[in-house]
Structure 1
Amino acid sequence: MATNPRIAPIERATQRPWDEWLRFMDAIGAADLDHGRIAQHVHDELARTGTESAGWWAQSVTVAYEQHVGRRLPGQQPDGTFQASMSRTTPLAMAELLERWTAFAAADPELQALAAGEPRLSGTERRMHWRSRAGDGYAVAVASEPRAGGAATLVVTLTGLPSPGASTEARERWTAAVTRFLGTV
């Protein structure tokens, strides 16, 4: 069986080997708990031991456990759907990046064929979003996130995909769209 790539970072961040996490899961009866209950137990344990970003790592430990016991495939969400994402850092500032993405999305015929309906725009000082539905029904969120030195990262997240194959195919199509976009930057 392949090693889950989540495990090494979990071990480093929590200062606990994976076999100890498995014993912890047995002790709390994780096999009979849903995702939220497992994550709460893990969070409480991480908070007790002073682990930084306990909420983040609680989710990571829980998902890795669910994958370990075969309850969840890589990329699978608790509701059974799949998620895919990709990101690319650009030299553009956050607002300019989203403005240029929005213009590109409105003019690119291949991207228009992927998205269904008018996109919704929103933002804060920390992140700006372009959201749409794909023609296949899954959700698409394109975020512009600031980076050091005035640059920004474009992050595309696809949610609600029905299968691993659909996730891979959608990720490839949106990666191609992002690559075309970056060719205009």
Structure 2
Amino acid sequence: MAEPAPSGNLTRGERIPAIERATGRSWADWLHIFEAADASRIGHSEIARVARAAVPDDLQSPDWWAQGIAIAYEQHVGLRVPGQSTSGTFRVSASRTLPMDRDEAIDAWVAAHGSVVEHLGHAASAPRPSRTDKRSFWRFNLEGAGKVEVSATPKGEDRVILGVSQDGLADGDRIEEWRAHWKALLAAL
């Protein structure tokens, strides 16, 4: 696990009410559950297991909620800050829903931005397009700024969520600058 972040409650405030509504537990109750498990001394996977054991089984996507609750707890106790992964690096993402299929969305990205050789001063590597049964991808590395994945995920028959995620930033200082950059590129489609 990464070195603890500066102390203090750095949990994104908007997560707590959603967690409370979805699970029927107050944030104070969640903190008690984690304290009883000595969660500040265990890794992310174990914290997520503690959360999963306390998430109601009838909740839609209980594993997803357990991950989010674990991350909120880690932020709350200063084990990580918003945007930080369990490895200690930072990530940022942005997305947009478009009225097209997944392959058209990737084609639109490539037509608009596929020839861009640098992003915010970081050289882009050769892209690596790929496709699975569920998603289409356009991936590339950024010299000194991690890896970027553009993914197109169908949302119904005639819409797609086109997402850009960037993993491997050394610190969180430029997260909002990167988010604005990716949002601007998505908005241009």
Alignment of 1:20-169 (within 5 A): 20-46=29-55, 49-108=57-116, 114=122, 116-169=124-177
8 A Cα contact 2:148 2:164, kept in partner: yes
Deviation per CA, 1:137-172, whole angstroms, max 9, x where unpaired? Answer: 411000111123412121000111111113222222
Q: How many residues align?
A: 180
8 A Cα contact 1:110 1:177, kept in partner: no
Unaligned runs of 5+ in 1: none
Q: Distance in 2 between matches of 1:79 and 1:111?
A: 24
Q: Distance in 2 between matches of 1:169 and 1:12?
A: 32
Alignment of 1:4-23 (within 5 A): 4-23=13-32
After the TM superposition, which segments of 4 or more aligned residues of structure 1 sit over 6 Å from their partners? none
Matched residues, percent identical? 36
Deviation per CA, 1:35-65, whole angstroms, max 9, x where unpaired? Answer: 1111112112226x54332211111111111
RMSD: 2.2
Question: What letter corresponds to residue 13 of structure 2 in structure 1?
Answer: N
Q: In structure 2, which of residues 180, 183, 186 is the aligned counterpart of residue 172 of structure 1?
A: 180
- Structure with the larger helix share: 1
8 A Cα contact 1:145 1:152, kept in partner: yes
Q: Distance in 1 between matches of 2:165 and 2:182?
A: 9
Residues 177, 126 of structure 1: CA spacing in aligned structure 2 closer, same or farther, 3 A cutoff? Answer: same
Q: Distance in 2 between matches of 1:54 and 1:32?
A: 23
TM-score, scaled to structure 2 = 0.84
8 A Cα contact 2:93 2:163, kept in partner: yes
Q: Which has the higher contact order (CA 8 A, sep 6+)?
A: 2
8 A Cα contact 2:152 2:162, kept in partner: yes
Residues 51, 92 of structure 1: CA spacing in aligned structure 2 closer, same or farther, 3 A cutoff? Answer: closer
Matched with 2:4 is: none
Question: What letter corresponds to residue 15 of structure 1 in structure 2?
Answer: G
Query: Which deviates more from structure 2 when the two are superposed, residues 153-162 or residues 97-106?
Result: 97-106
Unaligned runs of 5+ in 2: 1-8
Deviation per CA, 1:57-97, whole angstroms, max 9, x where unpaired? Answer: 11111111111111111111111111111111112221111
8 A Cα contact 1:143 1:156, kept in partner: yes
Q: CA deviation at 1:108?
A: 4.2
Question: What letter corresponds to residue 69 of structure 1 in structure 2?
Answer: V
